[in-house]
Amino acid sequence: MPLPRLIPCLDVAHGRVVKGVSFVGLRDVGDPVELARHYSEGGADELVLLDIAATPEETATLTEVVERVADVVTIPFTVGGGIRTLADATRVIEAGADRVSLNSAALADPGLVTEVAERFGSQAVVVAIDAGEEVVHTHGGRVATSVAVVPWAREAAARGAGEILLTSIRQDGRRTGYDLELTARVRDAVGVPVIASGGAGSARHVAEALAVADAALVASIVHEDPGGLGSLREAVVACGVRLREVIG
Amino acid sequence: MSVVVVDYGAGNTRSVLAALGHLGERGVVTSDGDAIEGADLVILPGVGSARSAMAHLRATGAAGALARRVDAGGGTLGICLGLQLALGHSEEDGGVEGLGLAPGEVVRLSASRVPRLGWCEVSPWGDTFYFAHSYVAKSEAAVAFAEGEVAAIRAGSFLGVQFHPEKSGPAGLAFLERCLCPA
């Protein structure tokens, strides 16, 4: 298996990073390009940019942000939020994203997963699942659907998703640890890698997540700590997880 | 120096150009045969499907230009799909004939999780690079491996890497710099 990955996630709206970032030492902590560069140089294994406004008017803004991020980072990055068609996915990938994350659009039209995978390869398609305890939620976690989490993950992978980004809406923002049980169940059900998301409050939590998943998404835990990602990496390694050695 | 990044319609060429930019070089994105034959270094990047990539390379004449270039000893770097296209045959998309620049074939990865996504150490080089692929080369021209799978092949002036140096942080940039200044 490849080394476990730590993936900082930036929530973006109207071209700005919108939550939880309180760093010192950056000229503009609200600029997604500046933050992406910071994490790329600071040892992130990958990045995720989520456009949480994702309105049609956002399209041009997001594309410009993606282009500028692609010009400064030297690691892979995934872009999600508001990608509803193959044309949307194509625009984001041509702007420089390595992968797109599909969420509610994939749920509404699972054929979209296959379309994007056939055009760009499965490695370019992440299906994001906002999971309650048993069912998939939409609208930022507020609306429960009747779709069960594990079968949907399995279907998404069968349709061409190259990775599942599983966010526990119960744990998200609580800092009491990832939903390890659900993450393990999803990973056991699919043959593609799984990113655990939601609930990181400590390096121990991240290490636990990496024992059951291929990667861990981290947000406030790195955004709000000046030492941020570097100290988190060291602490996760101290928990016995082997991470990529970051050069200089 | 002149660096050509081959355009085959599906590649994410922007990341390769950005990496070259980090090294103070400017790449030109084109599928023009004369430009490919004349460049100091040609990079065949890698995103998309083997079938559509080969169709594009043949239709534009880039396929022939790449073969003549490698025959003549011109430095050529294939990245990910760009490595795989250089071989004779791929089982992707129901079977696709490749450029035949290097011996071998491309088969579906048999790893426990496919696609393989993430950072792997490449031996004997010792550096860790980013991989994102579902297919992999089987080739007697292999010169480096990751987790037992082919990570790089060399055939004459063609060097192919399964990983993405343009997405592999400082280690990837150092690798690309060595490709720019062979010596």
**Residue B18: phi, psi to the nearest 5?**
-65, -40
A247 within some domain: no
- Give B106's pLDDT tier (boundaries 50, 70, 90): very high
- Give A31's pLDDT tier (boundaries 50, 70, 90): confident
Polymer length in residues for chain B: 183
Reported as half-sphere exposure (CB side, CA atoms, 13 A), residue B106 has a value of 34
pLDDT digits (tens, 9 = 90+) for B115-162: 999 999 999 999 999 999 999 999 999 999 999 999 999 999 999 999
**Choosing among B5, B7, B8, B12, which should be mutated to test the A contact, i.e. which has the most A CBs within 10 A?**
B12
A213 within some domain: yes
Predicted local confidence at residue A26, as pLDDT: 55
A38 within some domain: yes
Predicted local confidence at residue B19, as pLDDT: 96
| Inter-chain residue contact B10 with A3, CB threshold 8 Å | no
| Inter-chain residue contact B113 with A1, CB threshold 8 Å | yes
Predicted local confidence at residue A228, as pLDDT: 84
Calculate the average pLDDT of chain A: 91
Q: Which residues of B touch A122 (CB under 8 A)?
A: 114-115, 134
Look up the ipTM and state it: 0.95
For the segment B81-94, the average pLDDT, to the nearest whole number, is 95
Range of the domain at A118: 5-238
A30 within some domain: yes
pLDDT digits (tens, 9 = 90+) for B21-50: 999 999 999 999 999 999 999 999 987 889
Domain count, chain B: 1
Q: How far apart are CA A90 and CA B48, in angstroms?
A: 11
A248 within some domain: no
Query: Which chain B residue has its CA at the smallest distance from A46's CA?
Result: B118
Q: How far apart are CA A49 and CA A69, in angstroms?
A: 10
pLDDT digits (tens, 9 = 90+) for A230-247: 999 999 999 999 999 986
pLDDT digits (tens, 9 = 90+) for A37-84: 999 999 999 999 999 887 666 777 889 999 999 999 999 999 999 899
A52 within some domain: yes
Residue with tokens 């990973």: A187
Lowest-confidence pick of A202-211, B8-17, B20-29: B8-17
**Residue B86: phi, psi to the nearest 5?**
-75, -20
**Active site (catalytic) residues of B:** 80, 164, 166
Q: Which of A2, A67, A118 sits opposite B116 (nearest CB)?
A: A2
- Give A248's pLDDT tier (boundaries 50, 70, 90): low
Does A28 have pLDDT greater than 70? no
Q: Provide the CATH number for the domain around residue A127.
A: 3.20.20.70
A244 within some domain: no
Q: Which residues of B touch A248 (CB under 8 A)?
A: 170
Q: Which of B12, B19, B118 sits opposite A2 (nearest CB)?
A: B118
Q: Which residues of B touch A5 (CB under 8 A)?
A: 118-119
| Residue ranges of B 14-73 with Cβ closer than 8 A to chain A | 14-15, 18-19, 21-22, 47-49
Tokens, residue A143: 């609306």
Q: How far apart are CA B141 and CA B154, in angstroms?
A: 6
Percent of chain B clearing pLDDT 90 (strictly above): 90
A53 within some domain: yes
First to last CA, chain B: 15
Calculate the average pLDDT of chain B: 95
Predicted local confidence at residue A180, as pLDDT: 98
| Inter-chain residue contact B15 with A98, CB threshold 8 Å | yes
Q: Which of A121, A124, A248 sits opposite B170 (nearest CB)?
A: A248
Q: Which residues of A touch B116 (CB under 8 A)?
A: 2
Q: Provide the CATH number for the domain around residue B79.
A: 3.40.50.880
Lowest-confidence pick of A47-51, A139-143, B51-55, B169-173: A139-143
Domain count, chain A: 1
Range of the domain at B137: 3-180
